[in-house]
Amino acid sequence: MDDPVLHQSYAAAAADLSVPWQAETPPDPALAWLNEDLARELGYDPAWLREPAGIALLTGQVDADGHPVPAGGAAPERPFTTAQVYAGHQFGSPNPQLGDGRAVLLGDLLDTTGRRRDLHLKGAGATPFARAGDGRAPLGPMLREAVVGESLHALGVPTTRALAVLTTGEQIAPRQGVTPEPGAILVRVAASHLRVGTVEYAAWHLDLDARRALVQYAAARHLPEGVETKSTALDLLEHVTRAQAELLAQWMLLGFVHGVMNTDNMTLSGEGIDYGPCAFLDEHRSGAVFSSIDRGGRYAYAAQPGIALWNLSRFAETLIQLIDEEDPNAAVEQATAVLEDFEPHYLDAYGRRLAAKLGIPAHGEGADAEHLAAIRASGAELFALLEEQHVDHTGFFRALTDADPAALFADPAPFTSWYEGVLALRGSGASAEAALAGMDRANPVYIPRNVHLEAALRAAHLGDLAPAYALLDAVRRPCERRAELAHLEGPGDGGEHFMTFCGT
């Protein structure tokens, strides 16, 4: 097959928001893991990616046209790869300049389905936005991104994904402790790397024409084809609001805690991105925090939908002049109306997806509002019960499918009473049978359990990648129970006290 053609369409459309920057040449790069399915989807031959030319591509060693540089070849005078600048609200406080401190955009391409996708290299060396960092990335956190991204993708959640993780052949300064860590590069694939923070940077630093060019590029990249636009900026706000409402509903029902929902970590595509201090719930806890830097619980599990709306409000503020240049009050009214739609979109998505997990017919998007409200009320009662009795979130939903969920409760009487209500909501007939059959696909057996993921990353640090491969195998087919992976089903010991650090 012909190799895909790489472009730098973002740099061409919004020149003020990225700079040409050459990825550093790693001393001895080697593939730790290659996502062969994703490679084929992008149009690459996995066997070619394992060859020297493929390794050169995956480490950013490309010429001025985006083609791999032969071993020993000189880098181009003007780099093909770029580093992006953005800003953001971090823990609620504005930071006027962030950016790709240790990453470059390898380029964008059209995949085999005609979708435009970004290839992005993390751990490719310091850039002008490094803020005194060394530009390196350790192997463990890069594998974490790969595992979490593959898990969410397999569960139907919009997410960035890893095409590859490569070791660089060097030991780098430790992020925690004193022991040097193996260096690594993550090759990330995304619908784009445009963030709320990207538009914030433009609003805070650039003129109206530059902001308009950015919004037009983002709309062309992410709005569905055939949309009749009233205002490009308003339509983009509406699209991002709906996409984030759908994403947050999925995160909440899977018990996923992102950990750092700053505006620079909210994409315009609606994909999840940057899986550093993230985790899945073991016991259901509304206040669960797994990030060492979230001391106030701003990004706790139950806070996530509200934070998403807060971020979207900051996004809307950047668009006011573009929505209506002549009448800012009218623009504020229109943007506010879009933001007010976040909650109903979220509640609709949440109700439909909760129905699927409980085996209750919901009849797709636009289902009867009263029916969905009853399902959500049942869910609220359930989650309070799970938290009160310290029941495992993922284990409970899977037990509804193939075990006795009552056995998970120290006092099963409240569960039994709750379950009678679920049976009433299910009803009977063909639609009820179809909903029950779909529970297998909605309730995973395998997620990246905190204890198991951390053990796999520790093993990788010591040179043993087998546990990471086993975990990747499990989460990529999350609903298919396999005897050889039984040790990855439950939470293990110590997951409730698990803490993650900003290593990505």
Residues belonging to the active site? 264
Cα→Cα distances 402→275, 281, 444, Å? 31, 20, 11
Report which of 269, 101, 118, 262 is spatially closest to residue 188, judged by C-alpha positions. 118
Nearby residues of 151 by Cβ (< 8 Å), 6 or more positions away: 446, 447, 448, 475, 476, 478
> Which contiguous run of DSSP H or E holds residue 418?
helix 413-426
CB 81 within 8 A of CB 22: yes
The tokens for 263 are: 């505006």
The count of other CB atoms within 10 Å of the CB of residue 227 is 12
DSSP track, 374-407:
HHHHHHHHHHHHHHHTT-BHHHHHHHHHHS-GGG
Q: Which of 254, 285, 256, 284 is nearest to 356 (CA)?
A: 254
For β-strands 116-122 and 161-172, DSSP reports them as unpaired
Q: What angle do CA 29, 27, 504 make, to 5 degrees?
A: 65
As given in the structure block, the two tokens for residue 450 are 């905190």
